[in-house]
Amino acid sequence: MQGSAPPSGRRRGRRVLRTATAAVAAAVLLPVFGTAQAAEPAPEAAETLQQAFADAAANYQVPQSVLLGVAYMESRWDTHQGLPSVTGGYGPMHLTDARTALTEFPQEGAGDGGEDGRGDDTRPLITTATAEAPDLAALPANLTTLDRAATLTGLPAEALREDAATNVAGGAALLADTQAQLAEPLSSDPADWYAAVARYSGADDEATAVAFADDVFAVIEQGQARTNDTGEQVTLSAEPSLAPAPGQAGLIGLKKHNADGTECPADLGCEWVPAPYRDLGGGDYGNHDLGDRPNTQTIDTIVIHDTEGYWNTAMSLVQNPDYLAWHYTVRSVDGHVAQHVQTKDVGWHAGNWYLNAKSIGIEHEGFLIDPGTWYTEAMYHSSARLVRYLAAKYHIPLDRQHILGHDNVPGPTASYIRGMHTDPGPYWDWAHYMALMGAPLHANAGPWGGAVTIRPEYEANKPLYTGCVKAGDTCPARGSEAIRLHTAPSTTAPLVKDVGLGAGPSTTGVNDVGARASTGQQFAVAERQGDWTAIWYLGQKAWFHNPAEQPTAVNTVALVVTPKPGLAGVPVYGRAYPEASAYPPGVPVQGIFAMPYQVLAGQRYVTRNLVHGEYYYAVTFDEASHRVVRGKQLYFEIQLGHRVEYVKADDVTVQVSGAPPGHSPED
Asked if residue 587 is part of any domain, the answer here is yes
More confident residue, 504 or 125: 504
Mean pLDDT of 349-361: 97
Query: Which of 219, 173, 375, 390 lies closest to 301 in space, CA to CA?
Result: 390
Q: What is the mean pLDDT of the chain?
A: 89
Mean pLDDT of 39-61: 78
pLDDT above 70 coverage of the chain, percent: 89
pLDDT-based confidence at 472, cuts 50/70/90?
confident
Asked if residue 212 is part of any domain, the answer here is yes
Amino acid 206: pLDDT = 96
What's the CA gap between 570 and 573, in Å, rounded? Answer: 10
- For the cut 50, the answer to whether the pLDDT of residue 38 exceeds it is no
pLDDT-based confidence at 13, cuts 50/70/90?
very low
Query: Which of 643, 589, 639, 597 lies closest to 613 in space, CA to CA?
Result: 589
Query: Mutual orientation of helices 14-27 and 164-181 as an angle, nearest 10°?
Result: 40
pLDDT-based confidence at 131, cuts 50/70/90?
low
- For the cut 70, the answer to whether the pLDDT of residue 371 exceeds it is no
- For the cut 70, the answer to whether the pLDDT of residue 664 exceeds it is no
Mean pLDDT of 136-156: 92
User: 448-484 as b/e, with b when 16 or more CB fall inside 10 Å?
Assistant: ebbbbbbbbebbebeeebbbbbeeeeebeebbbbbbb
pTM over 0.85: yes
pLDDT-based confidence at 138, cuts 50/70/90?
confident
CA-based diameter of the chain, in Å? Answer: 85
Asked if residue 158 is part of any domain, the answer here is yes
- For the cut 50, the answer to whether the pLDDT of residue 316 exceeds it is yes
pLDDT-based confidence at 10, cuts 50/70/90?
very low
- For the cut 60, the answer to whether the pLDDT of residue 475 exceeds it is yes
State the residue range of the domain holding 598.
Answer: 562-656
Asked if residue 168 is part of any domain, the answer here is yes
| Predicted confidence (pLDDT) per residue in 171-192, tens digit | 999 999 999 999 999 999 999 9
Asked if residue 572 is part of any domain, the answer here is yes
Q: Which of 205, 227, 251 is the last residue of a domain?
A: 251
CATH code for position 148:
1.10.530
Question: Which range, of 15-29, 101-115, 221-235, averages the lowest pLDDT?
Answer: 15-29
pLDDT-based confidence at 473, cuts 50/70/90?
confident
- Given a contact cutoff of 8 angstroms between Cβ atoms, the answer to whether 558 and 522 are in contact is yes
More confident residue, 273 or 371: 273
Amino acid 14: pLDDT = 26
Number of domains in the chain: 2
| Helical residues (DSSP H) of 76-156, grouped into ranges | 98-104, 145-153
How many residues make up the chain in this entry? 667
Report the DSSP beta bridge partners of residue 611: 635
The three-state secondary structure class of 657 is: coil
Amino acid 661: pLDDT = 56
- For the cut 50, the answer to whether the pLDDT of residue 123 exceeds it is yes
Amino acid 666: pLDDT = 43
Amino acid 542: pLDDT = 98
The phi, psi pair for 637, rounded to 5°, reads -80, 130
Asked if residue 489 is part of any domain, the answer here is no
User: 408-431 as b/e, with b when 16 or more CB fall inside 10 Å?
Assistant: bbbbbbeebbeebbbbbbbbbbbb
Among 3-12, 77-86, 148-157, the range of highest mean pLDDT: 148-157
- For the cut 60, the answer to whether the pLDDT of residue 19 exceeds it is no
- Given a contact cutoff of 8 angstroms between Cβ atoms, the answer to whether 287 and 111 are in contact is no
Asked if residue 292 is part of any domain, the answer here is no
What's the CA gap between 588 and 320, in Å, rounded? Answer: 29
Q: Which of 251, 277, 305 is the last residue of a domain?
A: 251
Q: Which of 251, 286, 308 is the last residue of a domain?
A: 251
Mean pLDDT of 566-594: 97
Asked if residue 354 is part of any domain, the answer here is no
pLDDT-based confidence at 42, cuts 50/70/90?
very low
Query: Mutual orientation of helices 164-181 and 64-75 as an angle, nearest 10°?
Result: 110
Question: Which range, of 100-114, 141-155, 213-227, 403-417, averages the lowest pLDDT?
Answer: 100-114
